């Protein structure tokens, strides 16, 4: 029987831990895994009990991308097949990570390739081992990039570095990914789990609604004018000021103590 892998989840203290579990294939995402990943993220988006999402790979690697080897028979895809299918698979994963109004953290060790690389780039915070490898091998395989790489990379690292990764297929270490602004932080591999856990705990204890609205406004501002962004901020401010966490934030300020946000 083929090893299709799995996407497993656990919950603790409002954190949804998502594990890409196919270590024998460097956690490459099979079609069933992508479908399950989409389902997990879709459900998380409307789950009021959640405060954060943490995504990791099982074993020594994060994710080596979509499993094209298992799908491809060596023949060209039927005309229109990719246009019909990919928006509901790889592209949907990136859209959900990017738009879900929960902070998303990725912990990356080993390989982050193709869809796996773009998943790490789409997260709000990615912590990687110094020796992790971020790679966009699309052109090396003879086809053009997908899963948001042409949108994410220029915005995060600039056009020149995006071209070096997408046109030349250059691999980028975790240390350089931090230096380039692709990820939040890089650490020694032995420190990765603790560093990620600390960050996840920090974002999970924040004012969840306000953080989600802030995330939405940042992304909106990437394609909006200043005036449009100011208007969006007004609407988001109106919503966040109606939350229980807003009242707690004011009370903590008056009482000169740390706020105890509940995510509501």
What does the pLDDT look like over 151-160, one tens digit per residue?
A: 999 999 999 9
As a whole-number percent, the residues of the chain with pLDDT over 90 amount to 83
pLDDT of 188 > 60? The answer is: yes
What does the pLDDT look like over 111-148, one tens digit per residue?
A: 999 999 999 999 999 999 999 999 999 888 887 888 89
Residue appearing with tokens 């943490």: 54
Give the pLDDT band (50/70/90) at residue 86: low
Measured distance CA(106)–CA(18) in Å, rounded: 10
Domain 6-204 listed as CATH 3.90.226.10: yes
Is residue 147 within 8 A of residue 116, CB to CB? The reply is no
Which two structure tokens, joined as six digits, stand for 193? 């789990």
The DSSP element (H or E) to which 235 belongs, if any, is helix 226-240
Among 5-14, 46-55, 89-98, 225-234, the minimum mean pLDDT is found in 89-98
Quote the pLDDT of residue 67. 79
Which two structure tokens, joined as six digits, stand for 211? 């953080």
pLDDT of 110 > 60? The answer is: yes
What does the pLDDT look like over 200-218, one tens digit per residue?
A: 999 999 999 999 999 999 9
- The domain spans of the chain are 6-204, 208-254
Measured distance CA(161)–CA(142) in Å, rounded: 20
What does the pLDDT look like over 88-100, one tens digit per residue?
A: 478 899 999 999 9
Measured distance CA(223)–CA(130) in Å, rounded: 32
Mean pLDDT computed over 4-20: 95
Average pLDDT over all residues of the chain: 91
Cβ neighbours of residue 104 closer than 8 Å, sequence gap 6 or more: 52, 53, 54, 55, 97, 122, 123, 124, 125
Helix, strand, coil in percent for the chain, rounding step 5: 50, 15, 35
pLDDT of 1 > 50? The answer is: no
**CATH annotation of 208-254:** 1.10.12
């Amino acid at each position: 029987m083929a090893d299709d892998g799995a996407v497993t989840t656990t919950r603790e203290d409002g954190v949804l831990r998502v594990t890409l579990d196919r270590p024998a294939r460097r956690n490459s995402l099979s079609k069933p895994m992508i479908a399950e990943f989409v389902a997990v993220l879709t459900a998380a988006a409307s789950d009021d009990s959640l405060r954060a999402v943490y995504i990791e790979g099982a074993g020594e690697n994060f994710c080596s991308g979509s499993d094209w080897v298992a799908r491809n028979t060596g023949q060209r895809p039927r005309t229109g097949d990719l246009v019909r299918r990919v928006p509901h698979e790889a592209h949907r994963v990136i859209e959900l990570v990017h738009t879900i109004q929960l902070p998303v953290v990725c912990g990356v060790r080993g390989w982050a390739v193709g869809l796996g690389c773009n998943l790490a780039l789409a997260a709000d915070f990615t912590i990687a081992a110094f020796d992790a490898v971020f790679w966009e091998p699309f052109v090396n395989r003879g086809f053009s990039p997908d899963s948001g790489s042409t949108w994410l990379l220029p915005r995060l690292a600039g056009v020149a570095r995006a071209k070096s990764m997408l046109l030349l297929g250059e691999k980028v270490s975790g240390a350089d990914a931090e230096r380039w602004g692709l990820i939040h932080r890089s650490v020694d591999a032995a420190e990765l789990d603790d560093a990620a856990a600390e960050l996840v705990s920090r974002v999970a204890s924040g004012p969840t609604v306000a953080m989600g609205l802030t995330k939405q406004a940042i992304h909106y501002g990437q394609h909006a004018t200043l005036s449009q962004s100011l208007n969006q901020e007004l609407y988001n401010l109106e919503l966040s000021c109606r939350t229980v966490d807003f009242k707690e934030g004011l009370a903590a300020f008056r009482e000169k103590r740390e706020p105890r946000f509940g995510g509501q």
